[in-house]
Structure 1
Amino acid sequence: MKMLFAALALTLATSSAALAFDSETQALVDIYKPGKPVSGADMAQLMQSSEAWCYDRQDQSCAWREIYLDISGDDVSFELSNNWDVDTDYAFTDKATLSGGQICQSGYNWIDNLRAIRRADGSAIGGRELNDFKRTMAEARPDLDSYDDCFDYVYLASDDALETVTLRQRQYADGVYDAANDVEVTVYFDAEAAKGLSLRE
């Protein structure tokens, strides 16, 4: 009887590990090999199922972070968070388009919905200070309306225990790919782990 219980416990533990991802993401992970480009449909699945995309992860910090909010047909909205300086992080809601296995910038001007956060305590910056920050950001990004770069992703690995998928992002400016702009992205599916990510200075 003890052997039976031990076998059942092992089976349950194995099944639990195998089901670390939701069924749709697990099916996707099962068919991908390292180096295989991610299709547009599978990219959308990862975006919809994930909690956060952490770019150039080092320990639990990200160079920048994305959270996908909504995908309606080919239209995508997402929150991008980044670090501005030693005192300030910022976030905004951006819009993009899925096209031919890529996600492309849409020229959306996100300055109006820009938020700023104090790194010291996580409090929101508002009033004139936020208005000044928006003005500074607009001066630093004068050509937002013309942004139209496209990106695709190459599958690298997955970790069932950590509930992460690792991809390589490739950037295309005016349709031209430059490997120098490649960046590794860790896609998080565990909400608590995603909440623990920080933005790197």
Structure 2
Amino acid sequence: MEDKMRFALTCFVTALAGLTPALAFDKSVSDVLQRMKIGKALPIGEVATLMKESERWCYNQEGEGCAWSDIYLDVTDTGATFEIGNAWDDEVNVYFTDQGTFEDNRFICESTIDWLPTLRAARRDDGMPIGGRELWAIRSQMSGNTGPTDCFDYVLKSSDEAAETITLLQRKWTDGATDEAQDATVTIHFDPASAAALTWYF
């Protein structure tokens, strides 16, 4: 009788173990969360790990819409290459590739590369690419968007293992000063499906 009860208990525990969800984050991401504290700025090396493992960074997310988003294409010890996407207007989305350098073990700073030749555009309703004079006109309007080089650091806000997201506060620094009005909430998506479902609002 005791053996039967022990066998039944073993089966019950095994069944419960099967219902326990697996950890959603990769080990490298979980390790970052273990080392960091809510409300504290992340060293840029930890941010780089999140960049490498993520699918998309969504800024000021509302539902499945982003004000803009980043997809990190290449991350090294010294910086990152990424594609920025956002709505140009209510009919057109734009995308371009930019680079940033890691500085002071804390910041990613804008580079001085000319990203304008990488600019692409597409219709918001059907994703059809835009070229010719219409694309040239958008590039011409963007050509004057230059200013001081900005740097950004990141503060850990929260994580949601079930949704496979981490939320950071991005702070923008210009000439050594920051302004809370320029802060952005970043939702980092690690699940390919949820990242692919994101759009941009205008």
TM-score by length of 2: 0.91
Runs of 4+ in structure 1 deviating by more than 6 angstroms, as ranges, are: none
Q: Deviations over 1:145-174 (max 9, x none)?
A: x54100000001100100000000011011
Q: Which amino acid aligns with 1:112?
A: P
Cα distance in 1, alignment partners of residues 36 and 12 from structure 2: 33
State the identity as a percent.
40
Q: Which amino acid aligns with 2:89?
A: D
- Aligned-pair distance for 1:11? 2.1
Are the structure 2 counterparts of residues 14 and 59 from structure 1 closer, same or farther at C-alpha, using a change threshold of 3 Å?
same
Match of 2:108 among 84, 103, 108: 103
User: Structure 1: which 5+ runs fail to align?
Assistant: none
For 1:38, what is the secondary structure of its paired residue?
A: coil
TM-score by length of 1: 0.91
For 1:73, what is the secondary structure of its paired residue?
A: coil
For 2:102, what is the secondary structure of its paired residue?
A: strand
Would you say the 8 A contact 1:106–1:147 is kept in 2?
Answer: no
For 1:131, what is the secondary structure of its paired residue?
A: helix
For 2:93, what is the secondary structure of its paired residue?
A: strand
Cα distance in 2, alignment partners of residues 103 and 131 from structure 1: 30
CA RMSD of aligned residues (A): 1.5
Which has the higher Rg, Structure 1 or Structure 2?
2
User: Structure 2: which 5+ runs fail to align?
Assistant: 1-6
Q: Which amino acid aligns with 1:114?
A: L
Matches within 5 A, 1:64-79: 64-79=68-83
Look up the match of 2:4.
none
For 2:143, what is the secondary structure of its paired residue?
A: helix
Would you say the 8 A contact 1:105–1:147 is kept in 2?
Answer: no
Look up the match of 1:43.
47
Cα distance in 1, alignment partners of residues 136 and 32 from structure 2: 44
Look up the match of 2:126.
121
Q: Which amino acid aligns with 1:126?
A: G
Q: How many residue pairs align between the two structures?
A: 195
Q: Deviations over 1:55-76 (max 9, x none)?
A: 0011111000001110122121
